[in-house]
Amino acid sequence: MQETYDILIIGAGPAGLTAGLYGSRSNLKTIILEKGIVGGQLNNTEAIEDYTGFEHIKGPELSSLMENHARKFGVEIRTGIEVKSVRRTGDTFEVKTDGGETYHATTVIATAGGTASKIGVPGEEELNGRGVSYCAVCDGAFFNGLVITVVGGGDAAVEEANYLTRFGTKVYLVHRRDEFRAQKILQDQIFRNPKIEVIWNTVVEEIKGDKEVDSVILRNLKTDERWEHPTQGVFIFVGFKPNTYFLDDHPKHDDSGHLITNDRMETDIPGLYAAGDLRAQLVRQITNAVGDATVAALAAEKYITHLHHIKATGGA
């Protein structure tokens, strides 16, 4: 019979690694399954300056530190494994992967983050990887000396537009509204940057190019004016969808699909916890991701202890 893990964690970003650290420190058999590489979105972040104790650190460097710390206490980490199904069966969970493997666990902590949202215009899919990108750190260097267009108005769009000026000769920031949703400090940075030009009240209607991007069709939402805007790179930052598709039991969630938990990070399914970007909350930062994960792992430990007590005492 296959061994049952005490805690199975889906996703190896900051939340997943922190949950793994606390789970293994509690002497619980803990495993992390990650479909990509350890670190998640940290690997796409050039610089981090808002994680307490680190005035300035590169994302991949922080990822490596977190991974090494978690592994020190014995957590098992498996990468290149995508979870396709999580179903509660009796007192445990059955977790199936894309490779046909099945894992069993007493508790599951979902920390799988989110997937970049698309703008859904012609040319976006066809030119993905050939001028269209969702990761400035990954692809920015490919556009050295070229004109870059960023789409969005939140923290990610504004921050990445500023970052991309180290490569592009000019960076245009296209936003559908007349003001940004981004933090004021980030807005101040782009307004001071002479290489950035903001195009307000405008949307991208089409991304054009034969083998690579060479222009976009823009439309002003107030005047309905359309024009062709030359550019060699289109970086899209319009949000992330929470990665909860693998949850067969459909726990309670908000309108955008983010999981709703209590203050112990418990969903409405016993033994299932959520932490980080896929949980419904006001902000999505590294600091609250690791805080969520700390609570989730320790709550899972108490849940497991309670189950063991019930079994040992016959429910007394």
d(CA 267, CA 280): 11
Q: What share of the chain is helix, strand, coil (3-state, %, to 5)?
A: 30, 30, 40
- Residues above pLDDT 70, as percent of the chain: 99
Question: Considering 91, 98, 138, 248, which one is annotated as catalytic?
Answer: 138
Residue 312 pLDDT greater than 90, yes or no:
no
Residue 316: which pLDDT band, with cuts at 50, 70 and 90?
A: low
By mean pLDDT, which of 72-86, 188-202, 259-273, 279-293 is the weakest? 279-293
Residue 199 pLDDT greater than 90, yes or no:
yes
Q: What is the pLDDT of residues 182-191, one digit of tens each?
A: 999 999 999 9
Quote the pTM value: 0.76
Element (H, E) at 281: none
Residue 226 pLDDT greater than 60, yes or no:
yes
Residue 209: which pLDDT band, with cuts at 50, 70 and 90?
A: very high
Question: Considering 139, 155, 277, 292, which one is annotated as catalytic?
Answer: 139
Q: What is the pLDDT of residues 121-173, one digit of tens each?
A: 999 999 998 999 988 877 888 999 999 999 999 988 999 999 999 999 999 99
**What residue ranges define each of the domains in the chain, with the CATH number in brackets?**
4-116+240-313 (3.50.50.60), 132-236 (3.50.50.60)
Q: What is the pLDDT of residue 32?
A: 98
DSSP-assigned beta bridge partners for residue 158:
none
d(CA 222, CA 251): 40
Q: What is the pLDDT of residues 73-98, one digit of tens each?
A: 999 999 999 999 999 999 899 999 99
DSSP code, position 177 = S
Q: Please state, in angstroms and as integers, the Cα–Cα distance from residue 286 to each residue in 39, 52, 87, 174, 281, following that order.
A: 11, 10, 28, 27, 13
139 is catalytic: yes
91 is catalytic: no
Residue (of 60, 237, 235) closest to 165 by Cα position: 235
292 is catalytic: no
Q: What is the pLDDT of residues 233-266, one digit of tens each?
A: 999 999 878 999 999 988 999 988 999 999 999 9
